[in-house]
Amino acid sequence: MPAETRPLTKLHPFAAIRRAVSADVASLVHLEQAVFEMEQLTARSFRRYIAHDRADVIVAERTDGIVAYGITAHRAGSAQSRLISLATATRATARGIGTLLLETLHELASLRGMTCMSLEVRRDNAAALSLYERLGYRMIGEKPHYYADFCDALVLQRSL
């Protein structure tokens, strides 16, 4: 069974982790706008990632709605997966949901035959850097003035 059609439901003490569906787009956009001040994904972008057979979009959901999401993309002919975005609502931070989402994305990428995952992260995002380092990511490069406010991006990577 291809990775994109495998069922996915994981339980966390605080939320259920599942694949995103098109009905989630409005909630994803709302979360995106609450978490990121700039460089936000649009409803169109979320729809495209959800529908794309070379992407995985997962969400953490609890009774009051979606509290986190993660997106990876997998280029044809490459063994490298790329983390596109990972976001957690303020009301759900420090509960291990980001870790579980990222570990789930690692599993999904491995099922697709990917051998490593890379990402860009703002140099000044200490919480994200701490999470990525805890999960085995190492810096492999920098992108000066990468973001709209000219903040540098660090390029991180880890083996799957």
**Residues 72-93: tens digit of each pLDDT:** 999 888 999 999 999 998 776 6
Query: Is 102 exposed, middle or buried, given 0-12, 13-18 or 19+ CB atoms closer than 10 A?
Result: buried
Q: Residue 19 pLDDT > 90, yes or no?
A: yes
CA dihedral defined by 99, 117, 42, 96, rounded to 10 degrees?
0
Q: Which of 115, 111, 118 is nearest to 4 (CA)?
A: 111
Q: Residue 14 pLDDT > 80, yes or no?
A: no
Query: Is 97 exposed, middle or buried, given 0-12, 13-18 or 19+ CB atoms closer than 10 A?
Result: buried
The Cα–Cα gap between 25 and 61 comes to: 13
What domains appear along the chain, each with residue ranges and CATH number?
Answer: 3-115 (3.40.630.30)
Q: Residue 32 pLDDT > 50, yes or no?
A: yes
pLDDT tens-digit map of 124-152: 999 899 999 999 999 999 999 998 899 99
pLDDT tens-digit map of 92-117: 666 688 898 999 999 999 999 999 99
Q: What percent of the chain has pLDDT over 70?
A: 89
Q: Which of 35, 36, 86 is nearest to 57 (CA)?
A: 86
